Amino acid sequence: MLDVATIRKDFPILSRKVNGKPLVYLDNAATSQTPQQVIDVIVDYYSIYNANIHRGVHTLSQEATDKYEEARHKIQAHFNAEKAHEIIFTSGTTHSINLVANGFASLIQKGDEVIVSALEHHSNIVPWQMLCEKTGATLKVIPMNEEGELVMSDYDNLLSNKTKLVFVNHISNALGTINPIEEIIKKAHHVGAAVLVDGAQACPHIKPDVQKLDVDFYVVSAHKMCGPTGVGMLYGKETWLNKLPPYQGGGEMIAEVTFEETTYADLPHKFEAGTPNICGGIAFGAAIDYMNSIGFDNIATYENELLDYATKKLLEIDGLRIYGNTKNKTSVISFNVGNIHPYDIGSIVDKLGIAVRTGHHCAQPIMDYYKIPGTVRASFAFYNTFKEVDTFVDAVKRAVQMLS
């Protein structure tokens, strides 16, 4: 069992007030909060050993390089990548997906097909549309059902020897659905297609094993798992990363440069042009350490209880509808009450100190499916409490009274 009261003391922001009320932070699917253990690492970096990496012979540069590469190894161990150079530091999920989509422009052509799911975040849709525009490849969509699940029999029909790539999220940020990525990967490989899994929403809740999944690319953002913004990773199988051309040109990613010809550096540096977010990368490693010290099994058990409790309490409100009712979901609740606009509920509960997200959650195709402009989304983390759920449900009741 988690000692949530003690855990909450690690997060300075959780003791602040918003609009005169104690903050109830239920927007974890947008970004997670940062524990003191990670804040300390950021302060230490800038206070003690701020320097550029991989270049300097001086002591500070060595220290910074060692810490940065140590973080890469932590990330490798956490996601169980076979090799450290299969972990590419990026600025986050969006950057990682664009890197892969851009690289595939030289590997696919007109007549090829790529498959996306109906449950994607815009950042796992738009880069692929741009790829299709550039290459003439065709984008196919795995449809969803009322429960917010992918229709897997339709996926079977979309796959063929024309399929070159499948990209799907591990967990939907808008509905919380956990997608059957093992099955999706296996079937894609059967027709020779590669698979990219967007793990941005999965990484705060579960610990994926990229080798066991046999996934070709797995991408995350540190800020969804207690790390800072502006840093994330691309995991790619070595064979794929060798096939992809570099994304950006610049310093750090080259072996040799003349005006006649440039040769590229080995992995991972081939994809890491320019000075990276050094402090962010090191803090990402610290965030992984922190989350593992809490334990992903403990996190899952606790968050499931919180999700069940919040679902039950919210459904007591007349006219409240939850979108995404699959059994396989994590701690996200997307809902509307009657015809009340989600923004109005969001604004009123904010006055009561509660942070939730309202709108389309960067997943407009899902909102279109349900024919709604958006939802109110409450998303929970291991540091949220049952009492906070009560406060939230009371606030929604109050908002509904005021608005109807």
CB-wise, 173 or 334, nearer to ligand PLP? 173
Segment contacting ligand PLP by CB under 6 A, of 90-98, 186-194, 255-263, 311-319: 90-98
State the minimum distance, in angstroms, from the CB of residue 145 to ligand PLP: 19
Q: According to the binding rule CB under 6 A, does residue 92 interact with ligand PLP?
A: yes
Q: According to the binding rule CB under 6 A, does residue 203 interact with ligand PLP?
A: no
Q: Which residues contact 39 (CB under 8 A, 6 or more apart)?
A: 12
Binding mask 143-182 toward ligand PLP (x if CB under 6 A, else -) reads --------------------------x---x---------
Segment contacting ligand PLP by CB under 6 A, of 45-53, 72-80, 121-129, 236-244: 121-129
Segment contacting ligand PLP by CB under 6 A, of 68-76, 91-99, 157-165, 298-306: 91-99
Q: According to the binding rule CB under 6 A, does residue 32 interact with ligand PLP?
A: no
CB-wise, 200 or 213, nearer to ligand PLP? 200
Q: According to the binding rule CB under 6 A, does residue 384 interact with ligand PLP?
A: no
Q: According to the binding rule CB under 6 A, does residue 117 interact with ligand PLP?
A: no
How does 303-328 read in b/e, with b if 16+ C-beta sit within 10 Å? beebbeebbebbeebeebbbbbebee
Q: According to the binding rule CB under 6 A, does residue 198 interact with ligand PLP?
A: yes
Q: Which two tokens stand for residue 59?
A: 């002591």
State the minimum distance, in angstroms, from the CB of residue 378 to ligand PLP: 15
Q: Which residues contact 126 (CB under 8 A, 6 or more apart)?
A: none
Q: According to the binding rule CB under 6 A, does residue 94 interact with ligand PLP?
A: yes
Given the DSSP bridges, would you call strands 113-117 and 375-379 parallel, antiparallel or unpaired? unpaired
Site for ligand PLP in 217-246 (CB under 6 A): 221, 224
State the minimum distance, in angstroms, from the CB of residue 367 to ligand PLP: 15
Q: Which two tokens stand for residue 357?
A: 């997200």
Q: According to the binding rule CB under 6 A, does residue 93 interact with ligand PLP?
A: yes
Other beta carbons within 10 Å of 402:
11
State the minimum distance, in angstroms, from the CB of residue 125 to ligand PLP: 10
Segment contacting ligand PLP by CB under 6 A, of 36-44, 60-68, 70-78, 116-124: 116-124
CB contact at 8 A, 232 and 221: yes
Segment contacting ligand PLP by CB under 6 A, of 197-205, 300-308, 327-335, 386-394: 197-205
Question: In one letter, which amino acid is 394?
Answer: D
Whole-angstrom Cα distance, residue 370 to residue 87? 37
Q: How many Cα atoms occupy the beta-carbon half-sphere of 121 within 13 Å?
A: 24
State the minimum distance, in angstroms, from the CB of residue 376 to ligand PLP: 17
Whole-angstrom Cα distance, residue 400 to residue 398? 5
CB-wise, 202 or 393, nearer to ligand PLP? 202
Judged by CB under 6 A, the number of residues near ligand PLP is 13
CB-wise, 307 or 400, nearer to ligand PLP? 307
Q: According to the binding rule CB under 6 A, does residue 34 interact with ligand PLP?
A: no
Catalytic positions are: 362
Which member of 200, 283, 366, 400 binds ligand PLP (CB under 6 A)? 200
Which member of 201, 330, 375, 391 binds ligand PLP (CB under 6 A)? 201
Interacting residues toward ligand PLP by CB under 6 A = 92-94, 121, 123-124, 169, 173, 198, 200-201, 221, 224
